[in-house]
Amino acid sequence: MNTVTHQPVATDRYSTPAIALHWLIAALIICGFYIGWIMTDIPGFTPTKLRYFSWHKWIGVTVFALAVIRVLWRTTHRAPPLDSATPLWQKAAAHLVHGLLYLLMLAIPLSGYFYSSASGIQVVYLGIVPLPTFIGPDQALKATLRTVHVLLNYTLLALVVMHVAAALKHQFVDRDGLLARMIPFLK
């Protein structure tokens, strides 16, 4: 079997702001997920647990704001097209996963924000800026929103694993240069 290696041209790359937003949001999501994982295993109500909850919320608010910027950027700057040799089902899967990732980058912080509000705890961004509370304390809603927040996070984790696996497949199996669209130093 003869595999053709494609090299992307400069126009096939994402713009610098899109790349920066991608990697900054990815790093923040990883940190937020890790802190969320750790903080929920800390027993009781300790100063460390409270600090982790604050950091987790601040990361969530930041991800939400950056995701809004990213969506706005994306609506005014098209993504580079996929190689014409890419099978139609892969193109459809890529568009679906990207759409779901964008949706989750907005929905997860919102579900956490509303969960905090339903818990009766106001989110104070960076410990300085109190954010408005749209819903009051509600134990039933709190339980539902916690479940939604957790399920959305695990859905995001699964999609990120698929996203990374697909990118690695393109890089090391297909050797089509797709990963270079988002990692500028790759050739």
Identify the bridge partners of residue 130 per DSSP, sorted by sequence position: 124
The SS3 of residue 130 is: strand
The SS3 of residue 89 is: helix
Predicted confidence (pLDDT) at residue 8 exceeds the cutoff of 90: no
Q: Which two tokens stand for residue 58?
A: 């601040």
d(CA 18, CA 73): 7
Residue with tokens 């939400």: 64
CATH code, domain carrying 71: 1.20.950
Q: Which two tokens stand for residue 32?
A: 């937020």
Q: Give the domain extent around 71.
A: 10-181
Residue 35 lies in a domain: yes
Residue 139 lies in a domain: yes
Residue 187 lies in a domain: no
pLDDT one-digit tens code per residue, 13-62: 899 999 999 999 999 999 999 999 999 999 999 999 999 999 999 999 99
Residue 163 lies in a domain: yes
Residue 60 lies in a domain: yes
In this predicted structure, what is the pLDDT of residue 4? 47
pTM of this structure = 0.90
Predicted confidence (pLDDT) at residue 178 exceeds the cutoff of 90: no
Residue 153 lies in a domain: yes
Find the mean pLDDT for residues 70-82.
Answer: 93
Residue 56 lies in a domain: yes
CA angle 61, 67, 71 (to 5 degrees): 150
* 11 DSSP 8-state letter: G
* 120 DSSP 8-state letter: T
The SS3 of residue 124 is: strand
Residue 186 lies in a domain: no
In this predicted structure, what is the pLDDT of residue 112? 98
| Domains of the chain: total | 1
